[in-house]
Amino acid sequence: MKFEGKYIIRADEVTPDKMMSVPAMLRLMQEGSMQNSLEHSFSVWDMESDNISWVLLRKNLKIYNYPMLGDKVKIVTYPITTEKILASRDYKLYDAQNKLLSTASSTWTILNLSTRKLERIPLKYKDMVAPEEEQILEPPSSKFRRPTEFEFIKEFSPNYYDTDWNDHVNNIYFIKSMIESTPLEILKTQKIKELTYHIRSESLLGDQLVIGGQKLSENAFIYQVKNKESDKAISYGEVVWT
């Protein structure tokens, strides 16, 4: 069930230094998993008759090197296993010389599109297992750190094109917003080495979101995204810069 896709880094996927942005890297990984699910008939369109869909719970991204504008890259992704309400998936990004650029491990679940509650993964997906030739990544931990105080705060409001096929705000919007809430001098002078994020609840079109961050060390920050009106936690993240 492994998917391999080759792509060229486009102009709208890079930062001012012509390196691929982290949100663009995550979108490419998301595209790979979508193509993988379409190939093997477990995509959101295949699940429509059951009124369910996949949703991300958590992801851990590690970046070893950044591709540049115009570089040719290969994305490799595959499901690992399913158990009760959880499913796992790995991603690997390679350059044209097959050198590993980044990896990501992730945990998913099933959302009932009517009740908006989580469901058990259908038995027909139990055979989704990792390819024998691939080295399985360490899964993202279910534990995460919450900020105890906010050293910087920024407000965001998702727009229509920030929503996805599940009719809620796409997870990449959260991580993009977390990154962009970081002080500008960090954004301009450092690169993300590792990123972990956890989705705690849905956010919908029209929500007002408040993102607060706390500096843990010289190179590490933790983040929290909350719904401003309900005060409900939407997601948490941790970023290590270098």
In the chain, what percentage of residues exceed pLDDT 90? 81
Residue 150 vs residues 58, 221, 225, 242: alpha-carbon distances, Å: 22, 11, 11, 22
Residue 120 vs residues 82, 114, 164: alpha-carbon distances, Å: 10, 15, 22
pLDDT band at 139 (very low <50, low <70, confident <90, very high): very high
In the chain, what percentage of residues exceed pLDDT 70? 100
Alpha helices, DSSP H, located in 6-140: 22-39
Q: How much is the pLDDT for 49?
A: 85
pLDDT band at 44 (very low <50, low <70, confident <90, very high): confident
Q: How much is the pLDDT for 125?
A: 78
Q: How much is the pLDDT for 83?
A: 84
Say yes or no to pLDDT of 128 above 80.
Answer: no
Q: How much is the pLDDT for 223?
A: 97
Spell 189-200 as b/e; 16+ CB within 10 A means b: eeebebbbbbbe
Q: Encode pLDDT of 178-232 as tens digits.
A: 999 999 999 999 999 999 999 999 999 999 999 999 999 889 999 999 999 999 9
Global confidence as pTM = 0.93
Say yes or no to pLDDT of 130 above 90.
Answer: no
Q: Residue for token digits 């259908």?
A: 122
Domains of the chain: 3-125 (3.10.129.10), 152-241 (3.10.129.10)
Alpha helices, DSSP H, located in 71-166: none
pLDDT band at 127 (very low <50, low <70, confident <90, very high): confident
Report how far residue 43's alpha carbon sits from residue 126's, in angstroms, rounded to the nearest whole number: 14
Q: Encode pLDDT of 65-90 as tens digits.
A: 999 999 999 999 999 988 889 999 99
Report how far residue 204's alpha carbon sits from residue 76's, in angstroms, rounded to the nearest whole number: 30
- Give the three-state DSSP class for 28: helix
Q: How much is the pLDDT for 1?
A: 83
CB neighbours of 64 closer than 8 A, spacing ≥ 6? 100, 101, 102
Q: How much is the pLDDT for 218?
A: 86
Q: How much is the pLDDT for 55?
A: 92
Q: How much is the pLDDT for 178?
A: 94
More confident residue, 69 or 37: 69
Mean pLDDT for the chain overall: 93
Residue 158 vs residues 62, 143, 179, 209, 210: alpha-carbon distances, Å: 26, 27, 15, 8, 11
